[in-house]
A and B are shown apart, each in its own frame.
Chain A
């Protein structure tokens, strides 16, 4: 027995630390979500200190559920997360398969591909929204303007002028608008996280058995069948890992949403928590608990789906 006690004893600090690390924030969130707790109230100053005497039961939850942005925030969270996952996984697999073949300059291309991952999220958002997506000053504005100028010029050209004069003038998209701000976030986060997917998939591709491929070639499998029946199943586990990690990260997106449109037309649960937390800590905590539940549902659902479709 004593030979087991020592390892247990040595593990204890780490386990305790982990428990404290996870349980205290969760416990406090739960506690706050069941009491009335606001930062500032002239009318009810007793609510500004957390205490069991301010018990509210599920009142905060009801309040959050009935608030006008809650359902939208959940839908929007799912929309953003799923879109990013879909795009990063597809782009990641394609790029990983492409650069897995050896070609000149492979090393440099790989380093360049990974580099977006080293940009800080807030910087990433500022760069994209101001320098790339801006309808006037960004690359988008410049490109659309350039195309328009070119078409206008061609309208006066002999012979083909009539053809171009029938073309419409292109309008740049404003990505800060209510209708489009979610797309801007999806684009910039996809750009930033695709390298992560590429990196993981590439590592996995390098461990792919070459003799299996040769056997498949002899069995008459073309490039697509080899990809579909050997490479994709081989990537199932790394895809699950990429999806899991990203789902957890992107459910808590904040900086990008704040910088693109300050939540205008584009709120997710963390953003909603932030808005509540300006004053109503109780409601913010209840929203936080909803976020935990949502994250778990999403994770389980996604894993099931990947397991079914790829493992056959």
Chain B
């Protein structure tokens, strides 16, 4: 089914190379997430896979066949856009049925498939509405419906949730996850939000300036970031990363410790600091510690609650086996 292989692909817009030579394999049935800061080339890469952008060089294989010069519609891929890209003059029913109509399918079969998709997406009550009369989440579901009726080899999502509010985003995240479990179809999902990447992916591809920094499962990236960039990008709150004498003592140019791997005490510990803002979430407490001499600010995450005030003196002790060490090039030691 939907195995996608990128071989040495590059993309240049005018003079600027957005994607330097890049190799990547996405296995059949995988949920792959491209994650990276804005402007790093995630959308460009996805559009190249979809066929909406030509490759400057290299090749794309879909299901073992060269698809480099295959037109977009013939690649068997369905894409969900950030802006949803629904057809504003058509009802929901017509929107979802549009790819089938373009494939010259018989009307009764179109109706049947549209209804099946609409049922699975809870859109039955809205079939005769126009996109303008739907909420953001409903529009998103129509866009997904339009993708699933085609029964594609793979789904491509380009930041599909970034126009939704936070609560809806969590819900849609789960729905897309469910969809993947149910269909077992390859999905490639682009986001700049590492939480989305961590919660949804089987395989995360971390990109920076068009270069793949690391490919791996969410937990691999969490526990064994290949370099400083990935270490800082994956995880929330961010890993504390600093260099200096403390790092050299451990035989590294730079070290990182995650907020949740740092113990605190009011009496003694490895590093002394002053409490800045403490965020009490109930289940967790985030303490921002200043004046440690390590970095401007060290963030610590404590399970449960702890009684600290702004300005208190606090001692931090990192869990020794959870310290990430990096060499002068920023690579993991």
Which residues of A are interface residues toward B (Cβ below 8 A)? 209, 211-212, 214-221, 225, 229-230, 233-234, 236, 311-312
Contacts and interface: CB of A to CB of B under 8 A. Distances in A.
Contact of A214 (B77, B81, B86, B99): B81
Interface in B72-96: 72-73, 77-79, 81, 83, 85-90, 94
Interface string B153-180: 0000000000000000000000000000
B32 interface: no
Contacts of B87: 212, 215-216, 229-230
Contacts, number: 63
Nearest to B50: A218
Interface of B: 50-52, 72-73, 77-79, 81, 83, 85-90, 94, 98-99, 102-103, 146, 150
Contacts of B89: 229-230, 233-234, 236, 311-312
Contacts of A215: 79, 81, 85-87, 146
A220 B50 contact: no
Given A220-B73, A312-B90, A214 B85 contact: yes
Given A229-B98, A312-B89, A218 B78 contact: yes
A201 B52 CA distance: 26
The 8 closest A-B pairs by CB, nearest first: A233-B89, A220-B102, A219-B99, A215-B85, A220-B73, A211-B85, A212-B85, A211-B81
A218 B77 contact: yes
B85 A217 contact: no
Given A214-B81, A229-B90, 15 more contacts: A209-B83, A209-B85, A211-B81, A211-B83, A214-B52, A216-B98, A218-B99, A219-B102, A220-B103, A229-B98, A230-B87, A233-B89, A234-B88, A311-B89, A312-B90
Per DSSP, chain A at the interface is: helix
B98 A217 contact: no
B81 A220 contact: no
10 contacts: A212-B86, A215-B81, A215-B87, A216-B98, A217-B52, A217-B72, A218-B79, A218-B99, A220-B73, A229-B90
A218 B85 CA distance: 11
Contacts of B146: 215, 219
Given A214-B52, A312-B89, A220 B83 contact: no
Contacts of B78: 218
Nearest to A219: B99
Contacts of A221: 73, 98, 102
Contacts of A216: 87, 98, 102
Contacts of B90: 229, 312
